Amino acid sequence: MRMGTWLIIVAKRRNTKLITAGLLGLLAAEYIAAAAIYAISENSRSIWDGMWWAFMTFTTVGYGDEFPISSVGRIAGMVLVSTAVFVVMPSITALVATKLHGGDYDKFTHEEQEEVKYLLREIHKSTMEAGVREYAER
């Protein structure tokens, strides 16, 4: 099961606060880790340079004023962008869509489902009887 599908299922179960907290925690942890990795792997860079780079990379703005030269920094950038594009942004979209959709007001009750099943059986039975009569008349 894909991550986005899993998040939509959990969101439908009304755990949106838990998902939001988890996503924000993931974002914060990854942002800090990427900034630190960038600052350390690029030697003379400060943590502020790392934070600027991580923010610009995560938001996919990428001005180009800060960019990794080392392999470790580039891998951190790839992980950061992949998480932003394939996990966080679709998850935020799913959460917003779930909130905008509202509640389960369009969901059938058990009684309504049973009524629909009964009516479908009646329709099927009457169409079958009409078909048999029509066939017998030929």
pLDDT per residue over 104-127, tens digit each? Answer: 656 677 888 888 899 889 888 888
> What average pLDDT does the structure give for the chain?
76
More reliable by pLDDT, 138 or 80: 80
Determine the pLDDT at residue 51.
83
111, containing H or E segment? helix 110-137
Long-range contacts of range 85-91, CB-CB < 8 Å, 24 or more positions apart?
Answer: 85/60, 86/3, 87/3, 87/4, 87/26, 88/23, 88/26, 88/27, 90/3, 90/4, 90/7, 91/3, 91/4, 91/7, 91/19, 91/23
Determine the pLDDT at residue 86.
84
Determine the pLDDT at residue 15.
66
pLDDT per residue over 26-69, tens digit each? Answer: 778 888 888 888 888 887 667 888 888 888 887 777 777 777 78
CA distance 128 to 115: 20
Determine the pLDDT at residue 59.
78
Q: How confident is the model at residue 7 (pLDDT cuts 50, 70, 90)?
A: low
Residue 97 has pLDDT above 60, yes or no: yes
Q: How confident is the model at residue 72 (pLDDT cuts 50, 70, 90)?
A: confident
Residue 6 has pLDDT above 70, yes or no: no
